[in-house]
Amino acid sequence: MLAEFLQFLFSGVTVGATYALVGLGFSIIYNSSHVINFAQGEFVMIAGMSTVSLLALGLPMPIAILIAVMITTAVGLLLEKLAVEPARDASIVTLIIITIGASIFLRGAAEVIWGRDFHSVPPFTTNDPILVGGAALLPQTVWIVLATLVIIAGLWWFFNRTLTGKAMLATAYNPMVSRLMGINTKFILSLSFGLAAMLGGTAGILIAPISLTYPSVGVMLGLKGFCAAILGGLGNPMGAIAGGLIVGVSEAMTAGYISSAYKDAVAFIIILAVLIVIPSGLFGARGTERV
Amino acid sequence: MGLWHPRTGGLLVLAAVIAILPAFLANAFYYDVIILVGINAIVCVGLNLLIGYAGQISLGHAAFFGLGAYFSAVLTGTYDWPPLAAMLSGAVAVGALSFAVARPILKLRGHYLAMGTLGLGIIISIALNREAWITGGPDGMAVPSFSVLGWEPSGDLTWYGIVGGLLLISVWLALNLVDSPVGRALRSVHGSEVAASVAGVDVISYKVLIFVVSAVLASLAGSLFAHFAGFITPDEAGFIHSIELVTMVVLGGMASTYGAIVGAAILTILPQLLTVFHDFEMLVFGGILMGTMIFMRKGLVPSLAALVTRWRR
Amino acid sequence: MTLLRAEGLHKVFGAVAAIQDLSFTVSPGTVHSIIGPNGAGKTTLFNLITGLYQPTEGRIYFEDNDITAQPPHVLARHGLSRTFQNLQIFLNMTALDNVMVGYHLQCDSRFLPSLLRFPSVTRRDAEYRERAAELMAFVGLKDYVKADASAMPYGALKRLEIARALAVQPKMLLLDEPAAGLNPAETLAIDALIQKVADRGLTVVLVEHDMRLVWAVSNRILVLNYGRKLAEGTGPEVRANPEVVAAYLGEGGRDL
């Protein structure tokens, strides 16, 4: 009984941390530009696939994952420069289509580079599960949780203690005034994409050893990460993390106790239920429009 | 009301194009593609009313298309209903479903609305995928051919005529709506919900109205598609298809009924043309999507129309 | 008979009490101004009256009907209409269509007839299109009848919003800072327009900071401060009130 529950909990936290990191990326980009980056899931995919190639080249694991994250970050910065910046003042729907186009483009590029096959990545440490309360805890899960905690701490420090981080928050509140105060909002926008790509990439290298990686793996991940971000209230980084974990654990519990066929639907059922009752998400900003 | 007016002039041009096009269609493959363009165009004309005129977002519209398709497939295939009755029942059912979810979902704005419609669409497509005992699951199901009182459409030209005729009717209806108090109310909702409401426009009711109308239209088109293609899969209701539909509307030009047709044409034909790129197909497609939206962000028809206006001066 | 009656209005946003214990009446056929410092609650009051906000406590009556918490589109049917402090023009439409939306309740807006283009719809539309053009001329926008709203200057848009509000054929028109952002000449023109409107017997309620305009057009003035009624009366009464002078007008205000 307990073993079963713990098993589902572990797998839920594992995948939930991925959703959390992807959702975090959504929130950070949204915060600095009000753009929803539908290519967020692709950052996860690129890091995973790059790791496969780099390992195949013979590079040791730590170097491979570092370079993979760097590659992903670079892709994020390029995406911002080439696709988002030229269309800064376009409507919401147009921007959505642009980032969806970018997502398709990146998936197409991945298919060209790596083909359509599924690839696997060895785990950071051994594959021997640790027994906790009768349930098998994969060491990789421990890595994922640790890494996520470090990232959360790092981001908190960045946003609250560094000038750049605060500048990013300022740009989110009021881009025009931020510019007048001397904040380089273009740089902030690039930074936010780079940061989001880095987060997505990190999620990618963390999850790749557990699930297989292939060019379309980012699609559902991106959509569920979006769910996580909205659940926690768009623009609320901590909310996105909470949202990701809620989605991940709910998914695992549903798959375990109710039906695994509708596993993928869980995230969206939750988000619909929440949005209908609380239109601004669980922890989103509630305001009144001034007329 | 001269021939330059979008209403009469445009309808005449469209009718002329539809009448003349078969001369250029060399074989069954071309017919298939063009008929698919027509079916997608019918959906897009409705979706454009929702997105372009009323200013809402729907990232899950393919679900209504897919539901229409499956209603027709199941009722005619498994239960031997007459196709027309199945099609209309599907439309009524989709109308009821969309009406039920519209009010709560349309209270959302911007990205939250996008997520709400996205979620709805995905849930429906997953259900179509999983309930294999009705739908045949991910492998899809066969659909009997269309017939009305014993008469069956035979051959591509007949289907072309059916779809072409229905497209013309849809466009006529959409143009009527746009140029009426209802159309103005929709545009006012897009312009400023507050101002619309103090002028007497019941904002939420109009949003619900146009959502249901566009959903029903999508359902009818889905039913048509099911009988035409003879075989459907849950992909008809999938997220990718929903995005394709929105892209058609945005690409062609929002708040432009003819733009919706152009967008449908381009995005239906383009993938066929891109097969020459083989493995690079997805890459090129994504690139074209990005490029067009970045450089012609009002969509093709309005951007070109603006160019023409400037050139005429 | 009072046209509008507010009783014991309270409006609280979180920890802020925007309106506290406010009661007042507006008589038909008058021009009633609401003045006070920024943040005094003037626009909040407008939003309460026109159904955009629900009062936390209190009641509002229009022609002795309880209209508290009724949505704006229903109030339009009762005969209430308004303009906005921050322009809410439909920039995606032509100027004429903006006014046509004002005529929404007058046009035949049934769905099926619109879908099928019944003659009743097109006939009404044509009739009101002419009326809309006349209305635009009335507010001084004859030159913009064929223009897109997005191509019009700010001053013209302020008038367009008034035209749209008049199209609703209201019994009471609420104008929220109609002269905001206008230069002195344009303000005089708005002043004249408000007089024209009032001369037709329409009840006007005005929020304004431009005191020249206020003294010129108003029959009665309501002064708000920190969400409460500070004073109410005719122009001279209000000008002479020392509390009003201290809170808002300043010593120089009396000489305007």
ipTM of the complex: 0.91
Q: List, in sequence order, every residue forming a beta bridge with C224; answer none if it has no partner.
A: C229
Q: Which residue of C has its CA nearest to B195?
A: C88
Cα(C170)–Cα(A113) distance, rounded to whole angstroms?
67
Predicted pLDDT at A290: 61
Indicate the pTM of the whole model: 0.91
Residue B282 to residue A100, Cβ atoms within 8 A: no
Q: What is the mean pLDDT of residues B247-270?
A: 90
Residue B22 lies in a domain: no
pLDDT of B6 higher than 70: no
pLDDT of residue B1: 41
Helix (H) or strand (E) holding B14: helix B6-20
Nearest chain C residue to B175 by CA distance is C115
pLDDT band at B94 (very low <50, low <70, confident <90, very high): very high
- Single-letter amino acid, residue A100: I
Instruction: Confirm if A101 and B270 have CB atoms less than 8 A apart.
Output: no
B115, A86: Cβ pair inside 8 Å? no
Contact with chain C for residue B255, Cβ under 8 A: yes
pLDDT over 70 (residue B235): yes
Q: Is the pLDDT of residue B74 over 90?
A: yes
Q: Which residue out of A104, A117, A214, A216 would a mutagenesis test of the B interface target, given it has the greatest number of B Cβ atoms within 10 Å?
A: A104
Reported residue count of chain A is 291
**Residue B5: pLDDT above 70?**
no
CA distance B195 to chain C (A): 6
- What mean pLDDT is reported for chain B? 90
Amino acid at B263: G
Average pLDDT, chain C: 90
Higher pLDDT, B172 or B272: B172
Helix H or strand E encompassing C12? strand C4-13
Summarize pLDDT for B148-168 with one digit per residue, the tens: 877 888 888 889 999 999 999
CATH number at residue B159: 1.10.3470
- Residues near C204 by Cβ (< 8 Å), separated by ≥ 6? C30, C31, C32, C172, C173, C174, C175, C194, C197, C198, C217
Per residue in C120-174, pLDDT tens?
999 999 999 999 999 999 999 999 999 999 999 999 999 999 999 999 999 999 9
Q: How many CB atoms lie within 10 A of CB B4?
A: 8
- Containing structural domain, residue B192: 28-270
Q: For chain C, how many residues are written?
A: 256
Query: Residue A286: closest CA among chain C residues belongs to which residue?
Result: C14
Neighbours of chain B (3+ CB pairs under 8 A): A, C
Nearest to A102 by CA among A48, A59, A39: A39
Cβ atoms of residues B59 and B212 within 8 Å? no
Q: Does A91 touch chain C (CB under 8 A)?
A: no
| Average pLDDT rounded to a whole number, residues B53-76 | 94
- The angle formed by the CA atoms of residues A117, A122 and A126, to the nearest 5 degrees, is 155
Q: Phi/psi class of residue B37: alpha, beta or left (left: φ > 0; alpha: ψ in -120 to 50)?
A: alpha
Instruction: Test C168 with B194 for CB contact under 8 angstroms.
Output: no
pLDDT at residue B2 is higher than 50: no
The segments of chain A whose pLDDT lies below 50 read none
Sheet holding C80-82, edge to edge: C80-82, C172-176, C203-207, C31-35, C220-225, C228-233
With CA atoms as reference, the chain C residue closest to B186 would be C101
Domains (ranges, CATH) in chain C?
1-79+172-256 (3.40.50.300), 89-169 (no CATH)
| Residues of chain C with C-beta less than 8 angstroms from the C-beta of B211 | none
CA distance A278 to chain B (A): 9
On chain A, the residues whose CB falls within 8 A of the CB of C53 are 288
pLDDT, residue A95, reads 85
Question: B1 touching C, CB under 8 A?
Answer: no
**Does the residue B290 lie in any domain?**
no
- CA dist B24 and B22 (Å) reads 5
CB B253 within 8 A of CB A94: no
Task: Note the pLDDT of residue A286.
Answer: 60
CB contact under 8 Å between C109 and B196, yes or no, is no
| Nearest CA distance, A275 vs chain C (angstrom) | 22
Of A98, A105, A112, the CB nearest to B294: A98
Domain ranges of chain A: 2-277
The whole-number pLDDT of residue C203 equals: 95
Question: Is the CB of A272 less than 8 angstroms away from the CB of B280?
Answer: no
β-strand C80-82 against C172-176: which pairing, if any?
Answer: parallel
Per the structure, the count of domains in chain B is 1
Within-domain flag for B95 = yes
Interface check B176 vs C, CB under 8 A: yes
Pick the residue from chain C with its C-alpha nearest to B193.
C88
B277 to chain A nearest CA, in Å? 11
A291 contacts C52? CB cut-off 8 A: yes
Contact of A281 with A231, CB cutoff 8 Å: yes
**What is residue A237's predicted lDDT score, i.e. its pLDDT?**
83
Residue of B nearest to C85 (CA): B195
Query: What is A2-277's CATH topology?
Result: ABC transporter involved in vitamin B12 uptake, BtuC (1.10.3470)
Tell me the chain A residues in contact with residue B127 when contact means C-beta distances shorter than 8 Å. Answer: 262, 265
C43 touches chain A (CB under 8 A): yes
Q: Which residue of C has its CA nearest to A287?
A: C13
Q: Could B293 and A87 be called an inter-chain contact, meaning their C-beta atoms sit closer than 8 Å?
A: yes
**Residue whose C-alpha is closest to residue C227's, from C66, C21, C14:** C21
Amino acid at B53: Y
Per-residue pLDDT, averaged over B37-50, amounts to 96
Whether B57 is covered by a domain: the verdict is yes
* pLDDT confidence of residue A6: 86
**More confident call, B70 vs C226:** B70
Q: Is the pLDDT at B97 greater than 90, yes or no?
A: yes
Please tell me which of A267-271, B60-64, B145-149 the model is most confident about, judged by mean pLDDT: B60-64
Q: Which pLDDT score, from 0 to 100, does residue C255 have?
A: 53
Chain A, nearest residue to C53 by Cα: A288
- From the CA of C217, how many Å to the nearest CA of chain A? 25
Does the residue B232 lie in any domain? yes
Contact between chains at C93 and B177 (C-beta distance less than 8 A): no
CB neighbours of A36 closer than 8 A, spacing ≥ 6? A26, A29, A30, A92, A95, A96, A99, A226, B111, B114
Shortest Cα–Cα distance, C13 to chain A (Å): 9
Which of B57, B286, B294 is nearest residue A87 as measured by Cβ atoms? B294
Closest CA–CA distance from residue B186 to any residue of chain C (Å): 10
The whole-number pLDDT of residue B222 equals: 96
Q: Verify whether the Cβ–Cβ distance A291 to C13 is below 8 Å.
A: no
Those chains having 3 or more beta-carbon pairs within 8 angstroms of chain C are A, B
**Does B149 reside within a domain?**
yes
Mark yes or no for CB contact A272/B114 under 8 Å: no
pLDDT of residue B166: 95
